[in-house]
Amino acid sequence: MSQVDFEKIDGVSILYAQHKTDNRGQFIKFYDEESINFLAKMEGFSSIAYSITEIAGSIRGLHFQRSSSAEQKLVICLEGSIFDVVVDLRQKSPTFRKWAKIEIKAQDRVSLLLPKGLAHGFQTLEDNTKVLYGLSTPYRSTDSFSLNPMDASLKINWPQSVKVISEKDSNGLAFDDAIHICAQRETQ
């Protein structure tokens, strides 16, 4: 398993929102011609979610839904900062079996658009970090899985010691098992 640059993961898009700062504060444009083209890649939203993670060093993920339930994700860090990670589980992708990271600070005003077939997660780098998600596919518990973010074969060097992680994530699938689950569903 090897790491690549975030932008090299097939289908990933990154948008830096335009902003202006003056003595009143900031004005940020999230919806303009560039963002319309960016969001046109999204199949639509089945839901919008918001996470608040109180403790720096917490890990959420690496989550994925298989096959027909696979979801595109729009990810925006609204407050705090995150070490964001994606793992490519798509057998036909040129970046299959590769992972990538990007550090996002709220003040960077970055939006990530992630294609279907990636496992996604992050570690919070600050207390009280808030992340907004747009999801293209409804959550289906029978198709929802967690890839263990500590799986040694991934070789992810998380920047902080892990303070909080859910039982589901810490007991998540080994990488090869996640690949197997995705492959089973693709061939059915």
Reported as a single tens digit per residue, the pLDDT across 118-131 is 999 999 999 999 99
Cis peptide before 62 (omega within 30 of 0): yes
Q: How confident is the model at residue 17 (pLDDT cuts 50, 70, 90)?
A: confident
Other residues' Cβ atoms within 10 Å of the Cβ of residue 26: 10
Place of tokens 């693709």: 186
What's the pTM? Answer: 0.87
- Positions annotated as catalytic residues are 63, 133
Q: Are the CB atoms for 113 and 41 separated by under 8 Å? A: yes
User: Using alpha carbons only, what angle is made at residue 145 by residues 118 and 81, rounded to the nearest 5 degrees?
Assistant: 60
Q: Are the CB atoms for 164 and 55 separated by under 8 Å? A: yes
Q: How confident is the model at residue 86 (pLDDT cuts 50, 70, 90)?
A: very high
Structural domains present in the chain = 2-187 (2.60.120.10)
